[in-house]
Amino acid sequence: MFPLDCSNVNTTITSISKLYQIKVDQIRMFLQDFDLDKHYEENYLLDSPDRELLRAFQQYMGSLPQSIDRVYWFHLTRTLLEEDFSEGILPLTDSLDKLWDIVFRVFSGTHHLPRLERMKNEGFSNYLYNLKARQSFHAGPYAMLVRESAFLSQEIGNHNYLRMPEILEDICNGYRESFNEEIFQILSNALVPKIVKFWSHSIDDDKYLAPALFYLYAKLYGRSMSIYANKCFDGRNRPILPKQIEFIEHIS
């Protein structure tokens, strides 16, 4: 079995070592000696840095990898403490009512609740909410290839899903726009950040190996964790089944 697991630097470099059937020290030596800036200066290149790094790496090693059997992903969210994902990770088309129920539960007994119930039942004018709620194209579920990207959203340029899932933030923004009152912090305080690790089968190995290798290059040799050091998973409106979930990590 040849999985790709980017839980941390050690799991990533071990995965690549097994996939290419080479020693970890060979990978470290290549990454230490390779100068990506010089590589671009000396060659007329149009490809992205992660793809160029992978191409140079494979040329240096003189081999192609084994086929990846499984890719491990990290679904980032903020939800109720007791949420155990017993139904798997659902796309938005199947989970939107459940998310509203979480909001209603948090604001039960407050003056916010009847307003929120009207928002759900009658609709509201927040563009991003309506875009995601009405089009299955945006249903996900989504996840990250590199676990560390969960904590570097600003550096990489991703939404901070541990701070708040996008759709819940859209509801909070819609509430503020409708009633000129903030509820974001109340909702945030009632929820806890979690990372759900799950696996999927590989479809296109190069799409995963390039960012995984760039992640190693960035972490081991002082490069910034840019967008090239990660890859996003899109479930395309299909659920992640309970059997695919490895574990749920509560982030303190």
pTM for the model stands at 0.93
pLDDT band of 203, cuts 50, 70, 90: low
Name, in order, each residue with C-beta under 8 angstroms of 246's C-beta and a sequence gap of 6 or more: 72, 197, 198, 199
Burial 80-109 (b: 16+ CB within 10 A, else e): eeebebeebbbbbbbbbeebbebbeebbee
**pLDDT, tens digit (0-9, with 9 covering 90-100), for 38-47:** 888 777 666 8
Residue written as token pair 């630097």: 9
- pLDDT for 241 beyond 90: yes
- pLDDT for 195 beyond 80: yes
Average pLDDT, the chain: 93
For range 48-70, the mean pLDDT: 90
pLDDT band of 126, cuts 50, 70, 90: very high
pLDDT at 204: 64
C-alpha 57/C-alpha 63 separation (Å) is: 9
**pLDDT, tens digit (0-9, with 9 covering 90-100), for 101-122:** 999 999 999 999 999 999 999 9
pLDDT band of 185, cuts 50, 70, 90: very high
Q: Is 221 exposed, middle or buried (0-12, 13-18, 19+ CB in 10 A)?
A: middle
How are beta strands 245-250 and 70-79 bridged, if at all? unpaired
How many other CB atoms are there within 10 angstroms of residue 3's CB atom?
16
SS3 62: coil
Task: Provide, rounded to the nearest whole percent, the portion of the chain with pLDDT above 70.
Answer: 97
Does residue 47 or residue 22 have the better pLDDT? 22
